[in-house]
């Protein structure tokens, strides 16, 4: 008797493990392709999309901006390694890959924007908790954020 795959039986931990394996597999696939120069612009965009999405899924406790920045650094390293081998820097391929990561970044920020628009559509964009600046004094031990209104003097 054959068992059918039931997606409802998956756990979040299983999905994270699958994403971690896929992230390593895509990275191992992309590096030789970049170095040999056989990766096209479309393949670079698909690879960047897959790397970005799987990086976000594979490390749920890390900030998305940091993970996408790490993928961008990895893609830039691949481009420079390809440039040392071929003698040319594929600027368009690099730009397409980074633009793909920017689209992922926009998609991760949309729920936050929508929640803010539902809560108060007339509040300025930078007036949330994220607009807090760190204190300009030496704090021993654990630092803490000191919120200052945007129009107040420092």
Of residues 136 and 122, the one with the higher pLDDT is: 122
Q: What is the pLDDT of residue 118?
A: 86
- Picking from 25-39, 41-55, 126-140, which range would have the lowest pLDDT averaged per residue? 126-140
Rounded CA separation 139/121 (Å): 36
Contact 105, 53 (CB under 8 A): no
At residue 131, does pLDDT exceed 50? no
Is residue 136 included in any domain, yes or no?
no
Q: How confident is the model at residue 42 (pLDDT cuts 50, 70, 90)?
A: very high
Q: Give domain status of residue 53, yes or no.
A: yes
Quick one: pLDDT at residue 101? 94
Q: Is residue 41 over pLDDT 60?
A: yes
Please count the structural domains in the chain.
Answer: 1
Q: Please provide the average confidence, as pLDDT, over all residues in the chain.
A: 81
- The answer to whether residue 125 is domain-embedded is no
In a domain, 111, yes or no: yes
Neighbour count for residue 20 (Cβ, 10 Å):
15
143 part of a folded domain: no
Confidence of residue 141 (pLDDT cuts 50, 70, 90): low
Residue 48: pLDDT above 90? yes
Rg (CA), the chain: 21
Query: Does 140 map to a domain?
Result: no
Q: How many CA atoms lie within 13 A of 45 on its CB side?
A: 11
Is 150 a domain residue? no
Q: Tell me how far apart the alpha carbons of residues 122 and 132 are, in angstroms, rounded to a whole number.
A: 20
Tokens linked to 88:
């040319």
Task: Give the residue numbers spanning the domain of 73.
Answer: 12-120
6 lies in some domain: no
The set of residues, in sequence order, having a beta carbon less than 8 Å from that of 142 and lying 6+ positions away, is none
pLDDT at 19: 94
Report the pLDDT value the prediction gives residue 154, as an integer from 0 to 100: 47
The average pLDDT across 65-74 equals 93
d(CA 19, CA 78): 21
Question: The pTM is what?
Answer: 0.71
Q: How far is 27 from 8, CA to CA, in rounded Å?
A: 29
């Amino acid at each position: 008797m054959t068992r059918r795959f039931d997606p409802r039986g998956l756990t979040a931990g299983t999905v994270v493990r699958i994403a971690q394996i896929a992230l390593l597999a895509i990275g191992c696939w992309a590096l030789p392709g970049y170095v040999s120069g056989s990766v096209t612009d479309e393949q670079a965009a698909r690879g960047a999309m897959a790397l970005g999405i799987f990086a976000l899924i594979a490390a749920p406790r890390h900030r998305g901006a940091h993970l996408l920045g790490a993928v961008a650094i990895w893609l830039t390293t691949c481009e420079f390694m390809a440039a040392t081998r071929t003698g040319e820097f594929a600027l368009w391929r690099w730009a397409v890959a980074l633009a793909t990561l920017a689209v992922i970044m926009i998609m991760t920020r949309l729920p936050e924007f929508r929640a803010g628009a539902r809560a108060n559509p007339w509040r300025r964009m930078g007036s949330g908790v994220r607009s807090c600046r760190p204190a300009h004094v030496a704090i021993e031990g654990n630092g803490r954020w000191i919120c200052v209104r945007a129009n107040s003097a420092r």
